[in-house]
A and B are shown apart, each in its own frame.
Chain A
Amino acid sequence: MNSNTKVLVQGITGKEGSFHTSLMLKYGTKIVAGVSPGKGGSKLNGVPVYDTVAEAAKEHEIDASIIFVPAKYAPEAVYEAVDSGVKLVVIITEHIPVVEVAKFVRYAKVRGTRIVGPNCPGLIAPGESLIGILPSKYFNRGMVGIVSRSGTLTYEVASILRQYGQSTVIGIGGDPIIGTPMQEAVLDFQDDPETEAIVVIGEIGGTMEERVAQLKKAGKITKPVVAYIAGMTAPREKRMGHAGAVVYMGMGTFESKVNAFREAGIPLAKTPYEVKDLIEKVLRK
């Protein structure tokens, strides 16, 4: 993802879609087209709108798509993008049933499409491109890669880390099943020459944080990693705002993640503010 990434917006004429399209354009993102069934032929902020992804893909080269379509219709939008050969699909939409997510994540994977989300704020490469809804003023170009299951907490941590700046920030989403799990994003940062340290913002539920710890322990990640996990005081079997922030049958508890990070030698911040001290330490080494 860089300043040349050509982006399609699905659901471009909706309230969220049109609002964030204008913000992304302002940031410099190359939005080449939008899709909104029944609105084909019109223009929004100078961006040509098509009825289908296939029609847009005929006229424009498309590297990535961002989806703002409401939950009921979002799965179809994903299949449409995948079938048109879009290689990166970022799903902002929240509240898609988990079984539907599991189905399209699998569908995309076997066809070579990378999905980010759903229920995520998207990605930002500060100074280059924004494919998402992250408020750009809290991000600046630098050396820390951030991967997060949360939205606002990411903005908070990015602004706390202002003096170091960020290479890329990826909000992977708060759902139980997501297209790009945390460990994949961390491996991407490992390969990214601009990233010198990685911040992982996790929460209770699931086992992605444990996977990151395993990779670190196995030596597959050599760059320094610093972590924060939200939900220390969350009760079992309660959904904490995110569909994915829930512990069933004792899987993915706060303690399990803390232990995994400790064993892997990944320093864990007790508060979001402490992330800065830990980054300072690992970068000084």
Chain B
Amino acid sequence: MKLYEYEGKLLFKKVGIRVPKGVVTKEPIKWDGKAVVKAQLLEGARGKRGLVKVTDDVYSTILEMRAQGIGTFLVEEFIPHTREIYLSTMMDRESGNPMIVASPFGGINIEESKEVRTFKIPLDRRVMRFDVEAVEKYLGVRGLETVLRGLLDLVLTYDAELAEINPLAVTEEGLLALDSKVILDDNALYRHEDIISELGRKEESDSYVELDGDIGIIGNGAGLTMATMDLVKIMGGSPANFLDVGGGADAEKIAKSILRVGNNSKVKKIVVNIFGGITRCDDVARGIIEAYKQIGKPIFVRLTGTNEEEGKRILQTYGIKTYEDAISAIGDALRM
């Protein structure tokens, strides 16, 4: 679950990482002196889109951003600072240890930066003085202990998949996180119900990912669904979404998934790719029929596996063609 900047900063405060004073608002507000107005969006690159502004007139800045369709704003005191650095933490997938990622240059796109170092902290122990020393030496900044402990705490106690401060401002009064990016491990949300409700969020439980194109994609299994999406692209189409219905989906789940994809106005056609193992093709077919009646968009179904014959028979009754492999299903979807 990706958190908004202000939500991430709330967690920062809980683990002792300092952030600028600020308020979250949906309405234009009055503010004395210089401030930063930041649109609260889950997508990045807000700066480039003019959605982060330093201003003396908070009220009109919010009105301007509102005109661009922004609903929630974080207004913060302006923090004069001499340097910006980059720090983040996540689990290192290879070693299974938490790691600190650091760069002496903050506010940059970390993917493109050449000056990045990682520091692994063994899972069996906490951040120690000598870890802090090593990171401080590399960055040329003192006083990092609280920040590093806090970041590790976010991974190990709060189950953050990624906790990023970009940038961390170096000021005369200490270090302040000017931005936050926190993504929580969806699998661990059940043990943080207090935080989820404090944020007013709900646990997200499906795998839906929105994409740019017009072909809706539904499959069973993450790999197979990704492969279907990639095939659409290779064959000259453009996928509108990714939706993995998971293992053993019943008719109801299939119907719900098709409605979700089909009701997206940009979706023109839907490709369904099912390789039934635990999932039964007759259940899938019943789910498809249920939803098909409601959405009325063309649907191309590749169906194979358990109870395949029955599934195909059901679909044929309603005039929905089925295919033996994904390539021919996608081929027809793109042609018709």
Q: Which A residues fall within an 8 A CB radius of B?
A: 71-72, 95-103, 105-106, 133-135, 138, 148-156, 174, 176-177, 181, 201, 203-207, 211, 228, 230-235, 237-246, 248-250, 252, 270-273
- Asked whether, in the complex, the Cβ of B277 is within 8 Å of the Cβ of A106, the reply is no
Q: Which residues of chain B in 315-331 are interfacial with respect to chain A, using CB atoms and an 8 Å cutoff?
A: 325-327
B234 touches A153 (CB 8 A): no
**Does B96 lie at the interface of the complex (its beta carbon under 8 Å from any beta carbon of A)?**
yes
Decide if A135 touches B224 in the complex (CB within 8 Å).
no
Q: Is the CB of A234 within 8 A of B242?
A: yes
Which residues of B pack against A, CB within 8 Å? 2, 88, 90-91, 93-94, 96-97, 101, 110-111, 123-124, 155-156, 159, 161-162, 183, 185-188, 190-191, 207, 209, 211, 219-227, 229-234, 239, 242, 244, 246-247, 275, 277-278, 305-306, 325-327
Other-chain residue from B123, B211, B277 in contact with A102 (beta carbon distance below 8 A): B123
- Do the beta carbons of A245 and B101 come within 8 Å of each other? no
A234 to B253, CA, bound (A): 23
Closest to B327 in A: A273
B233: which A residues are within 8 A, CB to CB? 232-233
Q: Are B96 and A102 in contact (CB under 8 A)?
A: yes
B111 and A249 within 8 A (CB): yes
Main secondary structure of the interface of B (DSSP, over half): mixed
- A177 touching B186 by the CB < 8 A rule? no
- B191 and A233 within 8 A (CB): no
Q: Is the CB of A148 within 8 A of B223?
A: yes
A106 touches B242 (CB 8 A): no
Task: Determine if B222 and A241 form an interchain contact, defined as CB atoms under 8 angstroms apart.
Answer: yes
* B123, B161, B162, B221: the one within 8 Å of A150 (CB): B221
Bound-state Cα–Cα, A176 to B2, Å = 17
Identity of the chain A residue whose Cβ is nearest the Cβ of B124 in the assembled complex: A106
Taking the nearest CB of chain A, how far is it from the CB of B310, in angstroms? 16
- Report whether B186 and A271 are in contact in the complex, using a CB–CB cutoff of 8 Å: no
Selected A-B contacts with CB under 8 Å, 8 pairs: A95-B186, A150-B221, A155-B275, A206-B93, A233-B226, A241-B226, A248-B162, A252-B93
- Assuming the A-B contacts A152-B220, A248-B90, are A233 and B275 also in contact, with contact meaning beta carbons closer than 8 angstroms in the complex? no
Interface Cβ pair total, 8 Å cutoff? 170
List 7 additional A-B contacts (Cβ < 8 Å) besides A96-B187, A241-B242: A71-B187, A95-B186, A151-B221, A203-B226, A241-B207, A242-B223, A249-B101
Question: Chain A: which residue is nearest B156 at the CB level?
Answer: A99
A270–B96 Cα distance when bound, in Å, is 31
Min C-beta distance of A24 to chain B, whole Å: 14
Residues of B with C-beta under 8 A to A181: 94
The residue from A155, A231, A237 contacting B277, defined by CB atoms under 8 A apart: A155
Bound-state CA distance A219–B325 (Å) is: 36
What's the nearest-Cβ distance from chain A to residue B116, in Å? Answer: 8
A201-B156 contact given A103-B123, A207-B94, CB 8 Å threshold = no
With contacts A149-B223, A240-B222, A273-B325 taken as known, whether A133 is within 8 angstroms of B277 at the C-beta atoms is yes
Residues of B close to A96: CB separation below 8 A: 187
**Nearest A residue to B157 by beta-carbon distance?**
A99
Instruction: Choose from B159, B226, B230, B327 the contact partner of A99 (Cβ within 8 Å).
Output: B159
In the complex, chain A residues whose CB is within 8 Å of the CB of B188: 97-100
A102 touching B91 in the complex, CB below 8 Å, given contacts A72-B190, A97-B185, A233-B239: yes
Are A177 and B223 CB-contacts (below 8 A) given A95-B187, A98-B185, A155-B275?
A: no
The answer to whether A203 and B93 touch (CB under 8 A), given A97-B185, A239-B207, is: no
A252–B93 Cα distance when bound, in Å, is 11
Known: A241-B242, A245-B222. A272 touches B227 (CB 8 A): yes
A133, B101: Cα distance in complex, Å: 38
A103 to B97, CA, bound (A): 9
Contacts of A72 in B (CB 8 A): 190
| Complex contact A151–B227 (CB within 8 A) | no
Q: A98-B161, A135-B277, A241-B207 are in contact. Are A174 and B222 (CB under 8 A)?
A: yes
Q: Is the CB of A270 within 8 A of B234?
A: yes
Q: Which residues of A contact B93 (CB under 8 A)?
A: 176-177, 205-207, 244, 252
